[in-house]
């Protein structure tokens, strides 16, 4: 239904400057493809595209890296066995003679062992026998950190092919994620502005709409917005998607904008509202703190660690010194944790994009005012 | 206020232009100095400050961790000794099993030390990671958002300081890098066209209006990579606002004009007129369409809103009509003066007609009655052409008349609007309200054309179509606009002209980046004993700011030296990336737009161009 409506509306304006061909099958196929691509890059599709891309990446990386990491933990086990037998030999030789000699030799062996272990850890050994780093969940998180450029580095590819694939994967994936961010950030910014304008500023404005019944289409639109608002606007992607899918694709979206302009003519425009900086900052801080609370409950971090993790992740610095799933790598809670973490990241980055969007408008307005004032002063001095 | 306004016109002609010039020069100078010298030194100072702070905060903790490793191993030895002494008779398998268990524990402890406490694997307390150099590297890693994580703060205060350090530092770094990228881009462009391709002067290839572009790409770029400069981001925000909402008229005008003049060439009046018609000559249009409004009486009323500008005063002076082409066309019309005046002279008649239409329209807007609407509709066909002409015509002939005539008619709408702006503090709302009302009114006249309008070349968008409405909108933004205008037009002027016909080919930029990565890979494989693939992987991961941290320099070479080399490499590399983004942006966006148009996905071309950009 969505595709159809899109194509009809698009054909309407495309036809004006595009020559129409009369090839029913080819045309239909081409249209279908176009619609599909357009849908993929629409606001709904992009979420699915990002998730699908990440899942595909997870499969690829699991396949490439999984074998290698198994070999590594086997190496460590062998090293341990070797060291133990070394120690045994030393004990046999030195035990009865002198304690200090024995200690020295044991110390030397342990030091060597420690060095080897450090090397193994540097190469990706994580302490578990059956290496779960490159399980599906781990690979999913890895793919996500690659395309978001967070790059925790708690797991990283060790094979040649893993590295090459990572490079290619990042080249294709980062623009995709950027697109996701821009789309979702835009939607969030718009809906947030709307919510802000309607909810917070209503008191000091006149009623947005007269008593006359609004046109049906507008009513539907209102309902959609209502959904968004009820779900909390910026925290519920699904509701926003709903809004989009029902508004029907790309070209019609544009049309919607125009209609919206027309409909709203007797009220101020919500999109002209600039959301105050403090509110944006509060949202970001609130999101980080909320994440910190949740993570400190899920993991065994304290609050500072949680907020530190959230900040480092959302700013895409991504040290990787604290990573979710750390302590549930081997337990059954892992799946849930990684799903939650990915959702938190994807939503959070879109939210931050939204806040930057809003803040930038506000700051530009401020700067403009400042410039105007400066000019005023300058002029008065003259 | 009002008396001053009245005598001002007489002393007007020289002073404002001088003072504006001075202002613009000052502004240019300040922005130049600020953005290039102060910004860089600010970033350096910020890094040094961060290095000092982190070194003090974290060094002691790291020493403690290192000392604790020693005791950990001592405990292990002790345990083994106890195990050996526990039994009189030692059995090989039993002893080995217990020893293996201990070793496993020891291993886990080591792992924990490394992962949780940031132990780097060596026990030498003199050779710590959080030296001043290491902390400096850490600061750079943080504010570029690379985040290797090979060293990370482990103390509570270190974490808190890192958070605030990043909050301040990341935007600073972005600003600095984009500035450097801009400089590099312009110099590279200059180099490329002066040195490499002196001969080829390409004709422009695209004259599409750029309204349909996916604007949001820019924003993302701004958000997540180092690409856009502040100036650019201004434009980006305006564009996105416009694309998303279609409401911030005046600001977007400016951005359009800037980009348009890059691609629309002084080929002839035809091209030019088209760009004008799509509402792209903000300076001239807005100012001239201001004229009626700015007649003294009305202006007195307007002054109370606190938005008077030098320009408007300029415009008011009736005796100096010949001056404003000098002042304003300087910006808007640089090389195109000739063809345009000619063409405008050649088509005087349409000008008259169009002005009549406009007047009718303004009346119609005021009263919203039939005749006005009718004339508006009838004027549709000729609108784009003559309006432009009436606007650009420098001799001031028409302007005199236009200016002298309109007040009785045009004062009305303005006053009405003044009344309707009940709350001066909410001028924006009122303004947007008028914008919407205007677009709505033109909506019924062209029901089909409105949605598709922004996509078509010949048809200006409804908002732009009505000059008076436009002027009314512009009242509030006038001053802002001028600031902006000066801000980046003056300093962008030469560059815009240079860019207009001189895009650097995409492949060259891609080649540059790829060769930078490979060059870095070669260097690092020399310095660090990595193999070539590892080095290339390291360079890629670093420059994309993913920063896994599985490869970090400074293991083989002398630490300070290799850290310095790596910092230089990544800073320059990120600036280089910003530069190449800067260079290929317009080109790629246009390519992709054409591809998307062929595919039929007009609005969704953003990602493709990102694809190619990367």
pLDDT tens digits for range A306-331: 899 899 999 888 888 888 765 544 44
The answer to whether B16 touches B310, Cβ cutoff 8 Å, is yes
Lowest mean pLDDT among A164-173, A323-332, B418-427, B529-538: B418-427
Q: Are residues A168 and A56 part of one domain?
A: yes
Helices (H), A196-333: 216-230, 237-247, 249-263, 277-298, 303-314
User: Are B23 and A375 inside 8 Å of each other by CB?
Assistant: yes
Structure tokens at B230: 């502040």
More confident residue, B472 or B48: B48
The pLDDT value given to residue A360 = 84
Q: Which among B346, B453, B462, B359 is positioned nearest to B402, based on CA atoms? A: B359
Instruction: Return the exposure string of B450-468: e unless at least 16 CB atoms fall within 10 Å of the residue's CB, then b.
Output: bbbbbbbeebbbbbbbbbb
The pLDDT value given to residue B462 = 31
The pLDDT value given to residue B201 = 52
- Nearest residue of A to residue B600 by CA position? A34
The answer to whether B365 touches B438, Cβ cutoff 8 Å, is yes
The pLDDT of residue B322 is above 70 = no
The answer to whether B458 touches B277, Cβ cutoff 8 Å, is yes
Q: How large is the average pLDDT for residues B96-113?
A: 84
End-to-end Cα distance, chain A: 65
The pLDDT value given to residue A326 = 58
Minimum-distance CB partner of B247 among A181, A185, A269: A269
User: How far apart are the C-alpha atoms of B150 and A151, rounded to whole Å?
Assistant: 12
Matching CATH number, B506-613, of 1.10.287.70, 3.40.980.10, 3.50.50.60, 1.10.10.60 = 1.10.287.70
Q: What are phi and psi of B114, to 5 degrees?
A: -75, -45
Residue A324 lies in a domain: yes
Minimum-distance CB partner of B443 among A186, A262, A352: A262
The pLDDT value given to residue B601 = 61
Instruction: Return the exposure string of A301-322: e unless at least 16 CB atoms fall within 10 Å of the residue's CB, then b.
Output: beeebbbbbbbbbbbbbbbbbb
The pLDDT of residue B338 is above 70 = no
Q: Which among A312, A147, A317 is positioned nearest to B144, based on CA atoms? A: A317
Q: Measure in Å the smallest separation between the Cα of B341 and chain A Cα atoms.
A: 31
pLDDT tens readout for residues B203-245: 444 444 444 443 433 443 334 333 434 444 334 333 333 333 3
The pLDDT of residue A4 is above 50 = no
CATH number at residue A369: 1.10.287.70
Residue A256 lies in a domain: no
Q: Which among B269, B273, B310, B305 is positioned nearest to B290, based on CA atoms? A: B310
Minimum-distance CB partner of B149 among A80, A106, A319: A319
Angle A57-A151-A72 from CA coordinates, rounded to 5°: 70
The pLDDT of residue A299 is above 50 = yes
Structure tokens at B169: 């530092």
pLDDT tens readout for residues A216-250: 444 444 444 444 444 443 443 333 333 333 333 33
The pLDDT of residue B448 is above 80 = no
The pLDDT of residue B60 is above 50 = yes
The pLDDT of residue A284 is above 80 = yes
The pLDDT value given to residue B415 = 40
* Mutant choice from A272, A304, A355, A366 vs B, greatest count of B C-beta within 10 A: A272
Residue A245 lies in a domain: no
User: How far apart are the C-alpha atoms of A229 and A188, rounded to whole Å?
Assistant: 11
The pLDDT of residue B165 is above 90 = yes
Q: Which of A167-181, B20-34, B342-356 has the highest mean pLDDT?
A: A167-181
Q: Which of A117, A145, A177 is the last residue of a domain?
A: A177
The answer to whether A173 touches A339, Cβ cutoff 8 Å, is no
Range of A120's domain? 45-177
Torsion from C-alpha of B55, B57, B59, B63, nearest 10 degrees: 180
pLDDT band at B352 (very low <50, low <70, confident <90, very high): very low
Lowest mean pLDDT among A131-135, B129-133, B592-596: A131-135
Q: Considering only CB atoms, which chain B residues are within 8 Å of A356?
A: 219, 222-223
Q: Which of A177, A199, A224 is the last residue of a domain?
A: A177
Domains of chain B, residue spans: 36-158, 230-501, 506-613
Q: For chain B, what is the mean pLDDT?
A: 60
Q: For chain A, what is the mean pLDDT?
A: 73
More confident residue, A33 or B335: A33
User: How far apart are the C-alpha atoms of A306 and A323, rounded to whole Å?
Assistant: 10
Helices (H), B225-322: 230-245, 249-263, 269-277, 282-290, 296-303, 310-316
The pLDDT of residue B135 is above 50 = yes
User: How far apart are the C-alpha atoms of B109 and A44, rounded to whole Å?
Assistant: 47
User: How far apart are the C-alpha atoms of B596 and B591, rounded to whole Å?
Assistant: 9
Domain total of chain A: 2
User: Are B549 and A34 inside 8 Å of each other by CB?
Assistant: no
Q: How large is the average pLDDT for residues B282-297?
A: 38
pLDDT tens readout for residues A175-193: 889 889 888 888 888 888 8
The position carrying tokens 């200059």 is B190
Q: How large is the average pLDDT for residues A252-278?
A: 52
More confident residue, B500 or A364: A364
pLDDT band at A24 (very low <50, low <70, confident <90, very high): confident
Q: Which of A177, A195, A220 is the last residue of a domain?
A: A177
pLDDT band at B149 (very low <50, low <70, confident <90, very high): confident
Q: Considering only CB atoms, which chain A residues are within 8 Å of B103?
A: 80, 83-84, 113
């Amino acid at each position: 239904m969505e595709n159809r409506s899109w194509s009809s509306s698009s054909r309407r304006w495309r036809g004006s400057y595009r020559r129409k061909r009369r090839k029913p099958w080819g045309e239909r196929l081409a249209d279908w493809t176009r619609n599909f691509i357009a849908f993929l890059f629409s606001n709904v599709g992009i979420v699915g595209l990002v998730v699908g891309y990440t899942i595909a990446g997870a499969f690829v990386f699991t396949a490439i890296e999984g074998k290698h990491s198994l070999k590594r933990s086997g190496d460590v086990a062998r090293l341990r066995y070797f060291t133990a037998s070394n120690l045994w030999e030393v004990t046999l030789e030195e035990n009865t003679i002198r304690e200090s000699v024995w200690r020295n030799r044991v110390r030397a062996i342990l030091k060597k062992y420690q060095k080897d272990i450090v090397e193994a850890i540097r190469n990706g050994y994580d302490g578990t026998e059956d290496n779960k780093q490159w399980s599906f969940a781990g690979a999913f998180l890895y793919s996500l950190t690659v395309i978001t450029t967070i790059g925790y580095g708690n797991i990283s590819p060790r094979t040649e092919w893993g590295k090459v694939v990572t490079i290619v994967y990042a080249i294709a994936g980062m623009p995709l994620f950027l697109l996701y961010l821009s789309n979702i950030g835009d939607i969030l910014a718009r809906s947030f502005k709307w919510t802000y304008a309607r909810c917070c500023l209503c008191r000091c404005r006149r009623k947005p709409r007269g008593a006359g019944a609004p046109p049906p289409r507008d009513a539907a639109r209102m309902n959609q917005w209502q959904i968004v608002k009820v779900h909390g606007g910026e925290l519920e992607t699904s509701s926003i998607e709903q809004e989009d899918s029902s508004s029907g694709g790309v070209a019609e979206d544009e049309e919607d904008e125009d209609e919206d302009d027309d409909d709203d003519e007797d009220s101020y425009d919500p999109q002209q509202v600039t959301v105050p900086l403090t509110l944006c900052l509060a949202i970001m801080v609130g999101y980080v703190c909320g994440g910190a609370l949740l993570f400190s409950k899920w993991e065994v971090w304290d609050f500072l660690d949680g907020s530190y993790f959230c900040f480092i992740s959302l700013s895409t610095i991504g040290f990787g010194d604290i990573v979710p799933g750390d302590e549930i790598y081997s337990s059954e809670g892992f799946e849930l944790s990684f799903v939650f973490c990915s959702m938190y990241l994807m939503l959070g980055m879109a939210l931050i994009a939204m806040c930057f969007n809003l803040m930038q408008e506000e700051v530009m307005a401020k700067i403009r005012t400042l410039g105007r004032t400066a000019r005023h002063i300058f002029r008065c001095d003259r | 206020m009002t008396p001053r306004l009245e005598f001002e016109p007489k002393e007007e002609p020289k002073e404002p232009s001088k003072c504006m010039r001075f202002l613009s020069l000052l502004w240019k100078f300040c922005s130049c100095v600020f953005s290039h010298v102060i910004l860089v030194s600010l970033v350096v100072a910020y890094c040094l400050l961060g290095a000092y702070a982190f070194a003090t905060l974290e060094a002691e903790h790291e020493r403690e961790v290192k000392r604790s490793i020693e005791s950990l191993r001592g405990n292990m030895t002790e345990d083994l000794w106890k195990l050996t002494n526990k039994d009189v008779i030692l059995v090989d398998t039993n002893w080995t099993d217990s020893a293996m268990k201990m070793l496993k524990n020891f291993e886990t402890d080591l792992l924990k030390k490394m992962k949780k406490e940031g132990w780097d694997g060596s026990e030498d307390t003199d050779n710590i990671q959080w030296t001043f150099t290491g902390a400096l590297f850490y600061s750079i890693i943080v504010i570029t958002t690379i985040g290797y994580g090979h060293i990370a703060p482990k103390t509570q205060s270190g974490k808190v300081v890192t958070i605030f350090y990043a909050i301040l530092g990341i935007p600073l770094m972005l600003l600095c890098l984009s500035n450097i990228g801009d400089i590099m881009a312009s110099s590279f462009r200059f180099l490329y066209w002066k040195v490499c391709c002196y001969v080829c002067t390409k004709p422009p290839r695209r004259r599409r209006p750029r309204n349909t572009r996916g604007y949001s790409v820019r924003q993302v770029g701004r958000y997540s990579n180092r690409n856009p400069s502040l100036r650019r981001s201004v434009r980006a925000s305006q564009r996105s606002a416009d694309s998303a909402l279609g409401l911030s008229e005046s600001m977007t005008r400016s951005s359009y004009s800037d980009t348009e003049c890059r691609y629309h060439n002084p080929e002839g009046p035809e091209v030019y007129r088209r760009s004008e018609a799509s509402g792209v000559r903000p300076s001239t249009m807005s100012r001239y369409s201001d004229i009626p409004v700015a007649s003294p009486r009305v202006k007195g009323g307007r002054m109370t809103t606190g938005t008077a500008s030098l320009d408007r005063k300029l415009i008011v002076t009736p005796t100096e009509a010949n001056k404003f082409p000098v002042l304003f066309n300087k910006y808007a019309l640089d090389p195109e003066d000739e063809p345009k005046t000619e063409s405008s002279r050649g088509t005087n008649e349409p000008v008259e007609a169009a002005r009549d239409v406009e007047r009718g329209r303004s009346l119609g807007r005021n009263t919203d009655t039939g005749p006005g609407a009718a004339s508006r509709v009838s004027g549709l066909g000729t609108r784009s052409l003559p309006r432009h002409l009436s606007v650009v015509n420098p001799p001031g002939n028409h302007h005199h008349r236009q200016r002298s005539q309109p007040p009785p008619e045009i004062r009305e709408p303005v006053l009405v609007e003044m009344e309707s702006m009940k709350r001066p503090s909410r001028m924006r709302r009122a303004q947007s309200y008028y914008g919407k009302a205007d677009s709505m009114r033109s909506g019924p006249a062209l029901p089909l054309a409105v949605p598709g309008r922004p996509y078509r070349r010949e048809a200006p968008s409804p908002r732009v179509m009505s000059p008076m409405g436009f002027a009314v909108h512009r009242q509030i933004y006038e001053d802002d606009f001028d600031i902006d205008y000066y801000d980046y037009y003056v300093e962008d002027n030469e560059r815009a002209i240079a860019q207009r016909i001189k895009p650097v080919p995409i492949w060259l930029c891609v080649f540059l980046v790829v060769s930078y990565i490979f060059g870095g890979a070669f260097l690092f494989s020399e310095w660090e004993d990595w193999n070539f693939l590892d080095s290339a992987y390291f360079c890629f991961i670093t420059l994309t700011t993913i920063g896994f941290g599985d490869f970090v320099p400074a293991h083989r070479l002398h630490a300070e030296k290799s850290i310095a080399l790596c910092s230089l490499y990544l800073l320059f590399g990120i600036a280089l990336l910003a530069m190449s983004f800067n260079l290929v942006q317009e080109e790629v966006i246009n390519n992709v737009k054409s591809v998307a148009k062929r595919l039929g996905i007009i609005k969704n071309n953003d990602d493709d161009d990102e694809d190619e950009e990367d």
